[in-house]
Structure 1
């Protein structure tokens, strides 16, 4: 049986948000993986890696899983009704609607997080209540058919969890072993709880520009929702 995974790809995407779960999904037996965008012209990731969409919104086949990755480019998507409409429509059809990192903000802007537990990158977790979500810190957070993952590298763990939910733990473990996924980081600064104060400050400074732009966008989005109400 073919299982169809679709991952949104867009300008400014954080490539590992996409390629980490892509590698897991593409390594799964019986999987068919699609990279979806408005057209099939290459897009450039936040770290300048070109990525090639394989299908368009209009031509994308029926999916079992839709995943929205994150990155600086997610900011533009929060006000892009073409993208949000596609996410909304597919959310009604898929078995699992999912995200990695700040991709959950796009799910929120599409109206899919109201009253539901969700996570995102630690530096964006405080934005989730703007979309009516219940912010929940965690590597992977599941609420019914909604599965959200934390920042960037969480996409690997997330991919394995999705495969286990769709097929079996045995298949997920087979994929894990085939990829020799046995993380042993040389440093322990992967979360704010582990990192030193200096490292946290330096990281927040590096992310400040994207965060400021995101704050302004979400403020506009919130104001527009009040007007609609």
Structure 2
């Protein structure tokens, strides 16, 4: 199984680390880490990932396309036509088109979610509608060959869910045990409906500075005028 992971500057490292931590146990898996140019790509934490392939030399027929998300850097990436074109091109022949967190906004801007249900981080989730998608608050959403995870930590759930679909429930159970995935959140405020009013208000203020609906509107307008809208 060849998994094409699309990288862009300062994406959220956990969005990629969590899924590949699970998927590394899939027999025969091959990862391609794809960016505008080969070499190190910075993430939000200061860690760097090494892009093994450029947009130009990525394998044209991956089994899985995966797009991580982020905060402001993802919204910056919504204005990167080379990235969006590459996501769209590689997804044409992929068996699965997938994302975690705000990565689904990039799938939408690439013209790949029109008519599909999709998950996203809770703050900008409704903006998926601008790309013709139906937003869902589920932690993992599978609609035909589109699979999307919610916020950052959903990457582990999402990846395990996919393993179960690819190799059967026994495979998912085994990997879940091997990585000792047994979350116990200490505060229980990981979703807006669970948070107290003060915590939710503070979070919204922070998110408002990082997530821009105006940028999404512009990406949706560009998609309408782009060949991707007709071919995706």
Fold similarity call, TM over 0.5: yes
Partner SS, residue 5 of structure 1: strand
Cα deviation, residue 29, structure 1: 2.2
Alignment correspondent of 2:113: 113
Conserved? CA contact 1:5–1:25, under 8 Å:
no
Cα deviation, residue 216, structure 1: 2.0
1:175 is aligned to 2:170: no
Alignment correspondent of 1:86: 86
Alignment correspondent of 2:219: 221
Alignment correspondent of 1:43: 41
Q: Which runs of 5+ in 2 are unaligned?
A: none
Conserved? CA contact 2:140–2:157, under 8 Å:
yes
Cα shift readout 1:62-117 (whole Å, capped 9, x = no counterpart): 31111101002211221211111111111111110001000000110011111111
Alignment correspondent of 1:67: 66
Alignment correspondent of 1:131: 131
1:140 is aligned to 2:140: yes
Alignment correspondent of 2:4: 6
**CA 1:41–1:225: 2 relative to 1, 3 Å:** closer
Partner SS, residue 200 of structure 1: helix
1:152 is aligned to 2:185: no
The runs of at least 4 aligned residues of structure 1 exceeding 3 Å deviation read 222-229
What is the distance in 2 between the residues matched to 1:175 and 1:222?
38
**CA 1:128–1:173: 2 relative to 1, 3 Å:** same
Cα shift readout 1:179-204 (whole Å, capped 9, x = no counterpart): 01111121201101111111111111
- Give TM-score, length-normalised by structure 2: 0.91
Conserved? CA contact 1:14–1:45, under 8 Å:
yes
What is the distance in 2 between the residues matched to 1:218 and 1:175?
36
- Give TM-score, length-normalised by structure 1: 0.93
Conserved? CA contact 1:65–1:94, under 8 Å:
yes
